[in-house]
Structure 1
Amino acid sequence: MSKHTFDWIERQVCDIASERSVQPDRAFAVWCMQFIYPGFDLDEALIRTDTLRGYGGGDGGLDGWYKNEDIREFHLWQCKWSESFGKVFDKKPALELKNALEELLSLERASQYGDKFVEVATSLQLAMEHDYQIILNIGLLGSMKENSISQFNKTICDFAREKELKISCEVWDLEKFQQEYEEHHPSSETLEGQSFKFKLKSSQIIHMDFDDATLPQGWEVVVASLQGISLGKLAQQLASKLFGLNVRFALGANKRIKSIWESLVDPTDSQYFWLYNNGLTILCDDFKITNDSNGIPNAIIIENPQVVNGCQTVTAFKKCTGKYTDKPSVLARIIKPPSNSEGKKKSLLIAEKTNSQNPVLSRDLRSNDTVQKRLRKSFDQLNPPWFYERKRGEWGTLKTPEKNKYKDNTGEIRGSHRRLDMEYLGQAWRMLEGFPSVAITQKRELFDNEEIYSKVFSPRRNPEQFLFASRLRTKYEEFWHGKNFEGIRSTCGNYLTDSMLRRMMNAKGQVVSHSVALTCKALKKGKSWELSDAKIGLKLIDNFESKLLPWNRILAKAFHEMLQALDNDEEAVGFKKTLEKSDGNALKTLWSSIEATASILSFSDEKLNLPRDILLREEN
């Protein structure tokens, strides 16, 4: 186990605990959900770990849950936090999780733990009706005794057989978290100018050269069966450098490739691996087929091999090396495009389209768009430069000297580096445009919906406009932070009680989103958002605490009035759900409160454009 990994996880967990005013054990469960399931944001992870039966109540042994409809899996979590490195857990977490499952299988028994537990039980029973696999996950900031793991697996296997259910177990200990982390952060080195030997399993190959009518002019392809053992060893040697052209960096081993692993290592099933698997697509700069002494093809020498489809398969061969026989092989299309600009353009399309059938996120398929490349370059040319992360995991591929280019020496930027994320930035722009609710609750449509995507990432937009939206969002995330209670009171007054502040922290994503939307609505001078508005806004952000002090008082008063109104309305659905509604009524209500307060603050002899001039009074 690595002390470095322990410290890294502990820091992130403590940040979550501080930001959302939750205990470290709950924050660790939140961290596990975010880390294991790609696409989970903090708000969603908090919802999935909200299992307590009222204030101070128990959770029935359940710390988190997740229903994966794509692959029909229902995940239950029991997490154990430790403040000391090297903690070894016994069978207690396993027993608690098994107990939680037994309680969930009966709605009557589940009801003793409250409505939240019943909600999970109802969802679980519906999943079982549709033949879902139940996955019992134990998350540990330490390790578990080997005999406890073996006993847990045996107990669950017997239980599954008795109940005629499909149940499996997964122990996520510190060592496994470390392995997963390494898979999330691939190398930034490339294979350009380097050649590697891929051994063939079969001498039967299809070689389509420049004259083949199947291919466009100038393209060359070989279709062959690659030897599994050789591929696994080569993948261990080259690691993530094999995936540099992929639309996403390697995201690690997850449940989606479990079936690949199982068929690969099974002594009987492994001979069918070639038939089960869709194969690989490898782009390269050049290739050469080599023969043995009898003139029979035995290998392909590939220059700059880039696996653009089949990353999970290659990862399986790499991870399972030594656990499978010489039987498994995999079909591969090795493609050599023309070296001109058209060849490079089509290569990117191949990387995108061959992944469109796989469970990659929508944002991954947009990462190589021209507009995203242009934004990356534009942000890099700002003074000072900003790093725009269009591919997930891309920042982790940079070496320290490269990161230092974006290091912030003023202490103003969170994380000490000037970084922007494609999804984060897109959400911030939707907030700016007046869609604060859907920016959070429907973030996937940002990349799924062509009309929304084209509008948000308009090529005519200046990078400073995007920069303002993103930085304003970050500033309000820091302002509406669980550890900033006293700072909020100092700015807004003591009328925001602890109870109200906790309710706001539970809806922090929406509070931040609406704060951004309202601030931008006030700052906008004309009907559309202009570069001049962004430049004024960036000056305000540079002095956020002083310049926006009067404005933030008005903003907090609006949230306070909404909370009071909801408390007096017996039919109200609650603060968080009110903000999450996509009808925009929450934004209108908050804006009306702001206008009313601004009118009271203005003087009759002043001709103010309320509330913009109050927001900019110090600036002017």
Structure 2
Amino acid sequence: MLTKDFYQLIDNELLAIIEKYKDDAFLKKQKGVQGENNKKSYAFLIWFLDFYAKRTEYLPYITDSNSLVNGHTTSNSNDGFKDGDASCDLIVDSVDNFGNKVFYIVQSKWNNANRCEGEIERGEVVKALNDFETILRGDVKNVNPKLSKKLEELYEHLKNNGDIKFIFLCLCKKNVKVEDNIQSFLRGQERTKVEIIDIDRLKIDYIDRKYKKIEPINPLENYYDPQEIKVPIQIERLNAKNGNYIRIDKPFDAYVFLIRPKTLFNLFDKYGFYLFYKNVRNPLLQSQFNEDIERTATDNPEYFWYYNNGITAITYSPFPRIRSQAESLELNGLQIINGAQTVYSIYRSYKNASPAKKAQMDEEILITLRLLKSGGKDFDLNVTRFTNSQNPVQDRDFCANDIIQERLQNDFYNTKFWYEKRRGEFRQDDEIIKRELNDKGVTIISNIIFANVYLAYHLQDPVGVFNNAQQIRTTKKDLLFISHKESKDGLYEKVFNDLTNYQDMLCAYYIFDILLTKILNYEFSDFNKFSNTPYYHLLALFKVAFTKYIHKKIGSNVNISTYIIKLYESDEIDIILKTFIFVYQFFKNQLGNFNINTTEKHIKFLTTLTYYERVREDLEDCDFNISEIETIEKAPIGIWNIL
């Protein structure tokens, strides 16, 4: 989804808010062009509160004088007061799940569509930081009564050593240059945080909720990472005399306990989705599987243990030693690596239950908890892999939480091709979601496809693509998503590393799409049919020839990937088609037609990297004139005849 498209989506939601609250006193008094802008700025605050905090009652939190009229303040009028914004559009206080009160001060900058793809001006952020510092010093003067009251509450909170978080909210992109200013502001500050929420962050969170059905992190809540703190849990004793748990101590410590719904409810209530960071997939907010679990928990609680596999979690050293009489214990961190759906479904059903139903659930429901001591990253990953193997999980699912996978997905959100890092994460089985994505021109592309074309094209290893496809048929293991630490043939680190760039991946995808759909007349949905063909090798050779052509035509400083992306997106692909014809002719002269006389050299070309590299070197050494490509006629060439 392009940034401008997302901006338009948010703009439509702001218009809906303005219509919904048209009787709001502030909205009613806005006139003219500036009034329309003021309405959207005001609606943006309401949208932010509703989207993240689910607070539809917005009036108690808006403190900007420009957004206040009679009846909105703690006095009868704002006359005589002007706080100059004071970088206090919203002040929200809330109590976190550990009983700690936190104040959130939000400065919002709405902007029109023309600025949505640009960066926030550094001066605007610096001004906000200066205002934040003035607030902390208690030097804010001549403010409206409502803000004055909120500041009094804030200063009392600071006297009690309370936490505070400043949020700068904008509908344009973050300016990385302001990071030094933020760090300078925080220097010497304790229990103080600053967060910039820009249009890219809003888009990621919007996609998570709307299309993945995953709840985004709420910046107006204080989260605790359960991996890094002490986590108390209650365990069930049906027969305390006999211990009522299973203890394993070799090669890694482990317990098997029984727990009650209230324990899971309390865990999720405190830590939320942070409980599942190491899980291959977060629980769906809505699914048939969730509904089945919830139905059993509420309608047949006594059957729950029989119908449910329970959950598996890891904790860290020191591993607890438990007395036979113990009913509670403290863990050194906690991560649930299998059973996320169970936890979330129990949480929902317990939260929505009446007090009497909760008592019944705690009386009749038992849940099995397998608690394992962490054995290090590789061990934890393997436990996650094998405990999730009863469900359809692909090798790529176990890499989905890697930082690089997150980075690539977020980068691709700025295009019309979304990078799918785990199967089905965009919930395209939902017809409404599928239709909305189609209407927005968004295409979901598996990272399996991106990895294959990137390996062949950019990394110049079409042989790796071909050989991996052959071994998948027998091993069912995709080496593209398996580390070389797990298998000597693993390709994961080769493909995915700090140098991996979404533009290079997108470029490779575009070129392969042209080859398949414009030259071979296939549908791209036929992608899996091509693993036995030399098409990936043609893709790789294309890069060699086209790079030589561009360097001769324009110069060596051209970024080939961005150049090709521009050609593709403007539908100016004639030179790409001609280069493919040139490469095909070279290919045919070197190797002949595969389908006429498949020889040992054909097999070596497909399966041996050194042989491919010799052919590539011959192409690199080929001294052609740019006219040899530019004068090629664009007639169909029947590349399919090489099969």
Q: TM-score range by the shorter chain?
A: 0.3 to 0.5
TM-score (norm 2): 0.39
TM-score (norm 1): 0.41
**Pair member with larger Rg:** 2
